[in-house]
Structure formats: C-alpha cells, structure tokens
Amino acid sequence: MGQIFVAYLNTNVMNLLPASTAFKASNVNLRRLAMIRLIFITALLIVMGYTYQVTESDFVHPVYLVVLAVLALTIVLTYWRLLRTWPVTDLEYFCQLLIDIIGLTILFYISGGATNPFVSFYLVPLTISAALLPWRFTWIIAGLTLSAYSAMLLFNQPVADLQSHHHHGMQTDSNFNLHILGMWFTFALSTVLITYFVVRMASALRQQEQVLTSNREDELRNEQILAVATLAAGTAHELGTPLSTMSVLLDELQQEYPQEENLSKDLQLLTQQVKSCKKILQGLVSTAEIKNDYQQNTESLIDYIENLLDRWQVIRPEAQPELTIDPSCNDKLLTTDPTLEQAICNLLNNAADSSPDNRLTVVLNCDNKGMLLSIRDFGAGIPMEIAEQIGKPFISTKGDKGLGLGLFLSHATVNRYNGSISLFNHPESGTVAELRLPLAKLDDHA
C-alpha cells in the first residue's frame, strides 16, 4: 500500500484546500435578473407603442423615459459588474430588486396606480426574492410591494388622455378591452418569467449546493488520505530495520540447515516474502522521490492483467485465481501507473482473504464504456450491518486481521482514473468486486 499512500500524497494531498467552486450560481442568477429587467423594458415599450396606435393619443409622461433610462443603465452596470471578480452577496441582490420595485412604483404611480394592468408585475421580484434570498429580505420586499400597491389605490396620477375617452361611446368599450388585454399580457409575461427564470435560478442554487457538498466530501477524504499517508511514511521508515534483521536471520538459517528439505522450502518462501516487502518499501521511496512526475504507461490491457496476476501470485502463492478474458478485450489499451496495480492487488487480496480455500474468479470484459474487471470470492459475503460503510477508512470485514484501508485507497486511486468500484454479494455465495476503468485511445498510445 505504500505506493498508493505517497502517490496520493503527491497528487491530491498537496492540494487539500477545496477548489473554488467553478459554478457561480449567484453570478448566473444576477445575469438572469438583468435579462428579466431587459424583457420588462422591451415589453413596456411595445405596450406603449401599441396603446399609442389604438388610442391615437400621446400619453407618454417624461418620467417614463427617465425611469426606463435608469433601468437600462442598471442593466449595463450589472453586466459590467459581472465582468469583475467581486462576489455577489444577498445584500447586492436585494438592492437590485429594490431598484426594480422603486422603478415599477414610479411607473405605476404616474400611469393610473392600482388600475394599471401591469401592476401585478410586482409578483415577479417578490417571487425571485422568495426563491433566492433569506427570509428577512423577502419579508422586506413583500412589505414594500404590498405597501406600494395599497398606497396607489388612493394616490395615483390617472392617464388623462385615456380618461377623456371614457365618456365617448365606443371609445369606452375600446379602453375597457385595452385594459383587459393589458392585464392578460401582464399575467402571461409574469407567468413566463416566473416559470422559466425563477425555476432556473432555484435550480442553479441547488446545483451549487450539490457542488459544495461534493467539495466538502472531497476535502474530508483528502484529509483522511493525508492522515493515512503520514502514518504510512512513518511505518515504512520503521519497517526497514526489522526486515533487514529478518533477511539476515533467514540467510543464516538456510546456511545452518541445508539438509532439512521441508525447512529449506519454508525458509525460501519466507525469504521471498521478505524481499517482496523490501521491494514495496523501495517503491515507496522511489515514488516519493519522483513526486508528481511519476510516469503513466499505456500498455496492452490483457498483458497488464496477466502480468499483474503473475506478480500478485508471487506474494500470494496459496491463492488460486481463475482468469477468464473475453475476446472483446483483444487489442485494448489501458493507461496505468504503480498506484493502479496496488489498487487492483488490494481487491485481489480482499478476495483471497475472504475465500476459505483461497479460490477466486477473475473475469475481464470490455465494452464501449471501458473495461470491467470482476473479482469474485467464495466467502460469507458482506455483512448487511456494514454494507453501506464498506470503502470508508478503517472499516474492515477481516476483524483484527485488517486495517480497513485497502478498499478505501483503491477507491481513491480508481476515482483519479475516472473509474469506479462496486461491491455486492453474489446470489450463490461470496462477494463480487467490479472495477470499471476507461480504456486508453490509440491516439494516446501514439
């Protein structure tokens, strides 16, 4: 496991601080608010032009143009502000909505007050506030809109040109129909804006929350890996001396009892195991020396799996893996490094430890999604009480025989390759570990 510890220390742990969330929901929502303001201004100009054509009267108040100019300038300033790196706060968003409410109130006051068919547009900024802002800001927005609407029931400036036509026969019906049409138009516009923009704004906030949750989980996992890597570095340093002592003693025992055939075989096996441990520690040191520049190799998938099993059986000579390779994997390539080999070996070790007779099956398949390596043992399976915790650090099914780190580190390594590990109980017996990895492209190999 040493190689995985250090490789992760170099590639991930040096960047433990969570990356700034690329998805800036607040900026996106502020841009959408500016778009809503632009749509409202455009719709208002269209209505003014249409009303002028129907009534043949010039009722445009000079304040109209001033308010629309201010709202248009606000749009320009908002887009300029979005080009900066300043964070969008709730207070800024509240001020933006406040500008809209003040502008709406002035426009409605000089164009009939509560009788203006556009007055229901107050619901748009209120709905946006309810979807995006804390409750205290939303209550302020609600109080302001309700107060403005209520005040304009008593205080407003009627549109003189329209009022003068209320007493001229057919003009009355025409103005009544125009008012109803304006109310319908406002309702339709508000419905579209609320349905499209507000729903997307709320969705953006939910996505941002998901990203933040994922970042918190990554930060926690990286902190755990850093703790494990620190422990591994100290343990690797301490293991050097006892391994050297064991190697010397084994050499002396082989020289002292050359005639004992059975003992000699056992001593050779022990010597081989000690050399394997030394090789792992040497790999730990060499990986640490090359830091982040350790090379990835692209090689034949079948050759890689076969060679990996051969090397693994040197460490676990008692294991009996049955390898089955589907023809779909012919001529497929895989990008590898030492950490990936250790991750697969952890899965093989878990399977061998769980099988009472050390028997396990290894099946390699390929499809458009990549390679799928299935490793099945014939043990008791995963206990249901810890099934959901498997893969977390220090969670093990081996009791005192395991540290609960192998599967955790395998998950960490495979995630770097954009792969996945799934574990489930086989219907007959044992556990199946499925490792899925993307295949390398021929262009990458070239």
CB 351 within 8 A of CB 431: yes
Q: Express each pLDDT in 93-138 by its tens digit.
A: 899 999 999 999 999 888 888 787 778 888 888 888 888 888 888 8
Mean pLDDT within 307-315: 88
* pLDDT of residue 421 exceeding 50: yes
User: Residue 410's CB: how many other CB atoms inside 10 A?
Assistant: 25
pTM for the whole structure: 0.45
CB 71 within 8 A of CB 103: yes
Least confident of 129-133, 173-177, 223-227, 315-319: 173-177
CB 41 within 8 A of CB 71: yes
Q: What is the pLDDT of residue 303?
A: 93
The two beta strands, 359-367 and 370-377, are: antiparallel
* pLDDT of residue 403 exceeding 50: no
Helices (H), 194-326: 199-256, 261-290, 301-315
Mean pLDDT within 431-441: 88
3-class SS at 205?
helix
The larger pLDDT score, comparing residue 267 to residue 53, is at: 267
Task: Using alpha carbons only, give the angle 232, 233, 234 rounded to the nearest 5 degrees.
Answer: 90
End-to-end CA distance of the chain: 31
CB 375 within 8 A of CB 435: yes
User: Residue 420's CB: how many other CB atoms inside 10 A?
Assistant: 13
Of 374, 346, 343, nearest in space to 360 by CA? 374
User: Residue 156's CB: how many other CB atoms inside 10 A?
Assistant: 17
Phi, psi (deg, nearest 5) at residue 321? -80, 140
CB 414 within 8 A of CB 339: no
Mean pLDDT within 383-387: 55
Provide the pLDDT confidence category of residue 168 given band limits of 50, 70 and 90.
Answer: very low
Between the CA of residue 143 and those of 89, 108, 147, what are the distances in Å? Answer: 21, 17, 6
Task: Using alpha carbons only, give the angle 232, 237, 240 rounded to the nearest 5 degrees.
Answer: 120
- Bridge partners for 360 per DSSP: 321, 377
For 134-153, the three-class secondary structure string (H helix, E strand, C coil) is CHHHHHHHHHHHHHHHHHHC
Between the CA of residue 433 and those of 13, 347, 402, 413, what are the distances in Å? Answer: 27, 7, 18, 15
Instruction: Please give the Cα distance from 28 to 400 (Å, whole number).
Output: 52
User: Residue 61's CB: how many other CB atoms inside 10 A?
Assistant: 15
Percent of the chain past pLDDT 70, that is, above it, reads: 67
Structural tokens at position 401: 């025989």
Q: How many angstroms from the chain centroid is the CA of residue 397?
A: 30
Q: How many angstroms from the chain centroid is the CA of residue 28?
A: 18
Mean pLDDT within 374-384: 81
Residues in the chain: 446
- Bridge partners for 436 per DSSP: 372, 420
Task: Using alpha carbons only, give the angle 237, 240, 242 rounded to the nearest 5 degrees.
Answer: 125
Of 154, 151, 177, nearest in space to 165 by CA? 177
Instruction: Please give the Cα distance from 376 to 310 (Å, whole number).
Output: 18
* pLDDT of residue 398 exceeding 60: no
